[in-house]
Structure 1
Amino acid sequence: MAYLKTYGLVLLYDLVLWGALWTGLVLLEFSSSGGLVGLWAFGALRWALHHSITLVLSERKPQPVLRRWVAVLCLLPPVFESGRMVMVPASTADDLGLVPGPSMVVLALVSSTVACLAWELGFPDDGGNQGKEKKKKQEARAQLMRVVRYCKPDTLYLAAAFLFLSLAVICETFIPYYQGKVIDTLSGQYQHNSFMYAIGGMGLVSLGSALCSGLRGGLFMCSLSRLNKRMRHMLFHNLVQQDIPFFEENKPGSLVSRLGYDVDKMGRSVALNSNVLVRSLVKTAGMLFLMLGLSWQLTLLTMVEMPLLTLLQTKYNTYNQEFIKQLQDCQAQIKELASQAIGAVRTVRSFRAEEKEQDRYNQALERMYKVQEHKGIISAIHLLLRRVVTVGLKVAMLFLCRRLISAGQLSIGSVLAFVLFQKDMVTNMKQLVYVFGDMLCTVGAAAKVFTFLDRKPDQKEAGELAPAKLQGKLAFHHVSFYYPSRQNTPALKAVSLELHPGKMTALVGPSGGGKSSCVSLLARLYEPMEGQVLLDGQPLHCYQHQYLHQKMALVSQEPVLFSGSIRHNIEYGLVGCTLEKVKEAAKSANIHDFICTLEQGYDTDVGECGGQLSSGQKQCIAIARALVREPRVLILDEATSGMDINTQHAVQGVLAGSVGLTVLVVAHRLQTVEKADHIIFMEGGEVVEQGTHQELMASKGRYRRLKEKLFED
């Protein structure tokens, strides 16, 4: 970083200043005077001097992290002593020196550096450098805080979890301390009272740690489950409200991956990572205080290891974050390929495309393997360097321990306690650095979730119009439309047509003529680019969403059935629909007799996507699903193509006898088109001809030529 030079110079200046004052006061035998007021005065003066030096070195533009570090470094000793006197009333301010001692200087130096580094990594400043890296950190901070806000309903659970977490960490911190006391008691002259005191203290803190850890874990997992439930509900609710072009741009497998994997990963950033973060911070501070009490020399040597490991872990996190993003994309692609192949296995089998699908799946697996391979190489190098640093410093610490024991400054039990502290200290520091890196990864997952969560449909918002009586008159007024994926090719060109109540209108024409586009606009799957689609003189978007799709029912050529019973599929989307209405609709669709032959009748499961039924049976159930709504407008898009001739005639007879119902039939080969009251011939996105069958046949135009080519047996 650019301010590392300034940081080093200020640190050197601080050490020289403290060393000179400490040495002078010791020589003058004046080191134990000053009290709390003197300590605060020295801290304020020290802060003013350091701040001035920082301004000079940084040309009056110091980085915010340097200002924070200087303030914490200078004011931490008086703040610590003031807090100690509040927590321990027996303490007195008379024993405090004007200048803090070596242990307090080391504690302040390490604590201030770690705290400011943690703040800088987790919460970067908004001002200053506006480069890409800075903006990424700012976005990560905003997204992380947004995740935290979503945890507001679980404040009580989280507060209790953090309370038990703090108690558990405090108890864990004192376990090595009492272990050292036990060793000292056994290695010297045995004293029963001291031994029982050490054993009792160790047992008490061990029991407290186990109890509080269990409560803490349960509360955090409960909070995480509640957060995941809320986020999945919100995301799913927003996804199903999106417009159809959104689902054309985003594959179902990818959306399902975001809904499941990414939401779970995002929850970790608050529940699990906050757990580790607070635990490591509290435990590190407590162990650092106890380690300084045992030996400030060993503590200083231990502190050399922390910056090196932090630097290695930070560099590793930078590479690891990119690999994790690539793995997320690979996993989403693999899931999408598997879902497509398994879901359309009949199509795959009928076209002998098993090997092709296997090749595509293997290629996706190979891409993911290469990413994992590179990730493993970086991880191995990082582990090797980390072990070299750790082992080298441990050897140096053992040599220093031998000298301190020989000089009588350390006991065997103190060395054991310090080694245990040092091991946990390194582990906690690694976890702190890892948590910051992992939070960036989870924030990356949160960014994808928030992208879908914040997206608003491009469609016009549905209105509140819901008249008690609806005639069912439909009209296209100069409607032009093109699909978002084919914006250079218009699907409809200034189309104007009308559908009247009590009449059956047929849309015919070659493929690509615009028939399905008209149906999509009527169902409000898309919005017209120009012109309006009117229902009883009002634009479709003025009607309530539920009202419109109850009064206007669509049956497609390939209807979609959901896993569940036949009754569930017929009454799908309705509330309070009786079995009698379901049976009446099934009779109208000529499917009731077939259902009665089934062992479980209307409770028969149709299988995955209706796989247990034939195409004609699925179409009949889809027509019954439309008729049970008692619609005023019925749209049939090749809805009887899979039926046998008898079923087609039965259904067409029902539709022809429907009084006041506006029926639109889209067909390529239906012979009954000639029975329609009005026929509209479309080609190239335009209305070419319209009229009755006799009128169009007499005109000897495009309809007659297509009729002779396609509609004859």
Structure 2
Amino acid sequence: MEGARMYAAAVCLDLAVCSALHYGSALLQSPSENPSGWATLAQLWVIAGIRWALLRVFCAMLLRAGDKAVLHRCVAAICLLAPVYESGLLVLLRVHPENWSGSLSSPGKTLLATVATATACLFWEVNFPDGRGDVCQSPNGKEKKQKARALFMRVILYSKPDAPFLCAAFVFLALAVICEMFIPYYTGKVIDILGSHYQPSSFVSAIFYMGLFSMGSSLSAGLRGGLFMCTLSRLNKRVRIMLFQSLVKQEIGFFEVTKTGDLTSRLSTDTTLMSQSVAMNVNILLRSVIKTVGVLSLMVSLSWKLTLVTFIEAPLIAISQKIYNTRYERLSKEVQDSIARANDAAGEGVAGIRTVRSFNTERSESHRYDNRLMDTHNLKTQRDTVRAVYLLVRRLMSLGMQVLMLYYGRQLIKGGQMSTGNLVSFILYQGDLGSYIRTLVYIYGNMLNSVGAAAKVFEYLDRKPEVSAEGSLQPEKLRGHVRFQDVTFSYPTRLDRPALKGLSLELKPGHMTALVGTSGGGKSTCVSLLERFYQPQEGEILLDGQPLHLYQHQYLHSKVAMVGQEPVLFSGSINDKICLLLSGGQKQRIAIARALIRQPQVLILDEVTSCLDTESERMVQQALASCPSQTLLVIAHRLKTVEKADQIIVIDKGMVLEQGTHQELMGKKGHYYRLKERLFTEDTNGSDD
């Protein structure tokens, strides 16, 4: 605030000085005098230096705190405007200064020049702020900019297969822009022809070219848009496939700590934004750049004076667009995050519907989802309010600029420096120029947003699974001898609570081993480690004497098969879809058959006979007995299944408590004996009925 007050005071002082110089020069200069242009220009530069020194001293004396650099730059710009303007007129157009105080020294022109200069300075400070304390100049800020450029170039490289489509789209883009730029020009020609002596041949010629350029612009724009959208679709498809392939290669622990809503958001929203950075944003950026340059050149050819006036609007548009983009993009990101949270709440409620129903929490889950939706609604309201205010400010600026253009254009028409048709063409170009500048500023922020989305996608594309799948060992013959050696493991979500503590056990080929124990003792954890869903923090698991991670991924999972308690049957063919009418026991039999048909050397059965009747269980046992050389690991709570095991291992709290045959463990009357009395009594009684 203090800097703003000092700037206002400096402007008032400068206006007073300029007014004094203007009226003083009018009184002191004789009408007969005709000073040299270069001498007058030198006087203007000397006066500008005196003004600059005076204002610097004034600001230094009164400004007590704050950063003076911004104010000093603004003061220098105000003082240099007049001599730079007069130098340009003299060098380029051979127009001499009116007097030694300059043509901008009158109060009205000085005020207008000051406003224009202040607007330009504000535009510069908003888009290119001072380096001290600013993130753009800090090492971290430079690193972020370099990373953003690297990400954008990487997205460009992903579009390499679409190079023919992009090249054709760029050609049609140039044709569309060139044709479109000539339409306002010939519109002004038609008005001039109708307003002066009517010449049928000139009128027909102008109308013909208008129609030709309109048709060419429409056709080229349609082809350009179609090619860019085709490129967007192809790139989006490739990126989604690559991201999905990368996700399914991650370890199981990754999906435990990463929310499903985040993954689906990356696959849908972020991949789309990433694709737009090339197909859509580059399209709009190039089109806007070409149009801006072309329109400016045509505006200068029609009236360079009116073109200078339009520069007042350009920085105002850029400033308002910059402020709007920053606020709008931040709110848009918050809306996306809020939608992801709402999707997570809904997904958790639907996935855990059994728990919700059993604990009678339907109302609380609905209330939680309603709160997430209300957060999204509030953020969307804020975002839409920001957009409404911006649109109002933008239209007011456009209206004010049109009034100023019409007023000044009328003066030029009166002076014979411009025709009515040229003024109409100029106003049409000026309206388009504003939209092009807004688009350029907006697309810059949108491209950064797209790069941010690309960073999230590349984060998952480049992620290496913690459980490596780069093994190469593929022996022709595998015995299936498994050994756990001092294995210690904690789940990613519970690192402070070890699931296994120095566990050691052995699974021998041709033997059936049963893991028994209370829930949470570590049985399923052993199975997950044997399937290489996770990597133990300490110890190792050996298969035929070789560490498990040395085996080739596809080979290992063809030799080690698991059937879970609740098998998942993916729908695909007609027969698969019929399976959706299947009961739990039928699903288990199909899952067992699906595992056995692969002829694995190590077979893991996790409560697979829990839904089978006695006859079906007997048939499964016969099928398993037909493979005597298999290494069979069974987790079961049925006494009949456990009794038939060649080896029973009792696990509790991640440690092996006892191991041996059923008779040996029953004779010890230890943990297994007590576990049998507690867990298997109900099963035994039920089987006797």
TM-score (normalised: structure 1): 0.77
- Return the alpha-carbon distance in structure 2 between the equivalents of residues 287 and 29 of structure 1: 26
- 1:468-483 equivalence runs, <5 A: 468-483=476-491
Report the AA paired with residue 222 of structure 2: G
- Return the alpha-carbon distance in structure 2 between the equivalents of residues 269 and 285 of structure 1: 22
Residue 374 (structure 1) aligned to one of 370, 382, 386:
382
Instruction: Verify: 1:616 aligned to 2:599, yes or no.
Output: no
- The offset of 1:26, in angstroms, is 9.6
Instruction: Verify: 1:671 aligned to 2:636, yes or no.
Output: no
Go from structure 1 to structure 2 and tell me whether the alpha carbon gap of 1:161 and 1:3 turns closer, same or farther (over 3 Å shift): farther
SS in 1 for 2:238: helix
SS in 2 for 1:498: strand
Deviation readout 1:388-442 (Å, 9 max, x if unpaired): 2222222222222222222222222112111211111111111111111211222
User: Is the CA contact (8 Å cut-off) linking 1:504 and 1:656 kept in structure 2?
Assistant: no
454-463 vs 690-699, which deviates more? Answer: 454-463
Aligned to 2:498: 490
- The offset of 1:325, in angstroms, is 1.5
- 1:417-428 equivalence runs, <5 A: 417-428=425-436
Aligned to 2:235: 227
Go from structure 1 to structure 2 and tell me whether the alpha carbon gap of 1:30 and 1:377 turns closer, same or farther (over 3 Å shift): closer
- 1:268-667 equivalence runs, <5 A: 268-343=276-351, 345=353, 348-349=356-357, 352-565=360-573, 604-607=574-577, 611-667=580-636
Residue 159 (structure 1) aligned to one of 162, 167, 172:
167
Aligned to 2:656: 687
SS in 1 for 2:311: helix
User: Is the CA contact (8 Å cut-off) linking 2:480 and 2:509 kept in structure 1?
Assistant: yes
- Return the alpha-carbon distance in structure 2 between the equivalents of residues 465 and 440 of structure 1: 45
- Return the alpha-carbon distance in structure 2 between the equivalents of residues 544 and 657 of structure 1: 27
Go from structure 1 to structure 2 and tell me whether the alpha carbon gap of 1:337 and 1:161 turns closer, same or farther (over 3 Å shift): same
Aligned to 1:706: 675
- Return the alpha-carbon distance in structure 1 between the equivalents of residues 86 and 540 of structure 2: 86
Go from structure 1 to structure 2 and tell me whether the alpha carbon gap of 1:128 and 1:633 turns closer, same or farther (over 3 Å shift): closer
User: Is the CA contact (8 Å cut-off) linking 2:285 and 2:443 kept in structure 1?
Assistant: yes
- Return the alpha-carbon distance in structure 2 between the equivalents of residues 298 and 128 of structure 1: 36
8-17 vs 528-537, which deviates more? Answer: 8-17
Q: CA RMSD in A?
A: 3.0
Instruction: Verify: 1:197 aligned to 2:208, yes or no.
Output: no
Deviation readout 1:598-622 (Å, 9 max, x if unpaired): xxxxxx45459x6532222221111
Report the AA paired with residue 665 of structure 1: V
User: Is the CA contact (8 Å cut-off) linking 1:671 and 1:711 kept in structure 2?
Assistant: no
- The offset of 1:116, in angstroms, is 10
User: Is the CA contact (8 Å cut-off) linking 1:147 and 1:270 kept in structure 2?
Assistant: yes
- Return the alpha-carbon distance in structure 1 between the equivalents of residues 627 and 556 of structure 2: 20
- Return the alpha-carbon distance in structure 1 between the equivalents of residues 583 and 354 of structure 2: 13
Report the AA paired with residue 634 of structure 1: L
Deviation readout 1:208-249 (Å, 9 max, x if unpaired): 111211221122112112211221121111111111111111
- Return the alpha-carbon distance in structure 2 between the equivalents of residues 159 and 114 of structure 1: 38
545-554 vs 288-297, which deviates more? Answer: 288-297
- The offset of 1:492, in angstroms, is 0.9
- Return the alpha-carbon distance in structure 2 between the equivalents of residues 141 and 265 of structure 1: 16
- Return the alpha-carbon distance in structure 2 between the equivalents of residues 362 and 192 of structure 1: 69
SS in 1 for 2:280: helix
- Return the alpha-carbon distance in structure 1 between the equivalents of residues 531 and 568 of structure 2: 15
Go from structure 1 to structure 2 and tell me whether the alpha carbon gap of 1:519 and 1:485 turns closer, same or farther (over 3 Å shift): same
- Return the alpha-carbon distance in structure 1 between the equivalents of residues 167 and 641 of structure 2: 71
Deviation readout 1:11-56 (Å, 9 max, x if unpaired): 567654555546667998999xxxxxxxxxxxxxxxxxxxxxxxxx
Instruction: Verify: 1:150 aligned to 2:158, yes or no.
Output: yes
- The offset of 1:142, in angstroms, is 2.8
SS in 2 for 1:484: coil
Count of residues paired in the alignment: 591
Aligned to 1:206: 214
Instruction: Verify: 1:216 aligned to 2:185, yes or no.
Output: no
Go from structure 1 to structure 2 and tell me whether the alpha carbon gap of 1:175 and 1:115 turns closer, same or farther (over 3 Å shift): farther
- The offset of 1:473, in angstroms, is 0.8
User: Is the CA contact (8 Å cut-off) linking 1:553 and 1:626 kept in structure 2?
Assistant: yes
Deviation readout 1:651-699 (Å, 9 max, x if unpaired): 1232234211111001234432011111000111110000000000000
Aligned to 2:47: none
Report the AA paired with residue 499 of structure 1: L
- Return the alpha-carbon distance in structure 2 between the equivalents of residues 514 and 442 of structure 1: 45
SS in 2 for 1:467: coil
- The offset of 1:176, in angstroms, is 0.3
User: Is the CA contact (8 Å cut-off) linking 1:510 and 1:668 kept in structure 2?
Assistant: no
- Return the alpha-carbon distance in structure 1 between the equivalents of residues 74 and 284 of structure 2: 30
- Return the alpha-carbon distance in structure 2 between the equivalents of residues 479 and 16 of structure 1: 81
Report the AA paired with residue 490 of structure 2: Y
Aligned to 2:109: none
- The offset of 1:5, in angstroms, is 5.9
User: Is the CA contact (8 Å cut-off) linking 2:489 and 2:538 kept in structure 1?
Assistant: yes
- The offset of 1:135, in angstroms, is 4.7
- Return the alpha-carbon distance in structure 1 between the equivalents of residues 354 and 576 of structure 2: 17
Aligned to 1:66: none
Gaps of at least 5 residues in structure 2 are 1-66, 98-116, 682-688
- Return the alpha-carbon distance in structure 1 between the equivalents of residues 230 and 69 of structure 2: 43
- 1:113-192 equivalence runs, <5 A: 129-130=137-138, 135-192=143-200
- The offset of 1:2, in angstroms, is 9.3
- The offset of 1:558, in angstroms, is 1.5
- The offset of 1:263, in angstroms, is 0.3
Go from structure 1 to structure 2 and tell me whether the alpha carbon gap of 1:456 and 1:29 turns closer, same or farther (over 3 Å shift): closer
- Return the alpha-carbon distance in structure 1 between the equivalents of residues 374 and 426 of structure 2: 48
Go from structure 1 to structure 2 and tell me whether the alpha carbon gap of 1:183 and 1:26 turns closer, same or farther (over 3 Å shift): closer
Instruction: Verify: 1:249 aligned to 2:257, yes or no.
Output: yes
Report the AA paired with residue 561 of structure 1: L
- Return the alpha-carbon distance in structure 2 between the equivalents of residues 231 and 489 of structure 1: 38
Residue 272 (structure 2) aligned to one of 264, 267, 271:
264
- Return the alpha-carbon distance in structure 1 between the equivalents of residues 602 and 296 of structure 2: 76
TM-score (normalised: structure 2): 0.80
- The offset of 1:127, in angstroms, is 11
166-175 vs 662-671, which deviates more? Answer: 662-671
Go from structure 1 to structure 2 and tell me whether the alpha carbon gap of 1:431 and 1:114 turns closer, same or farther (over 3 Å shift): farther
SS in 1 for 2:541: strand
User: Is the CA contact (8 Å cut-off) linking 1:564 and 1:606 kept in structure 2?
Assistant: yes
Go from structure 1 to structure 2 and tell me whether the alpha carbon gap of 1:370 and 1:133 turns closer, same or farther (over 3 Å shift): farther
SS in 1 for 2:235: helix
Identity of aligned residues (%): 52
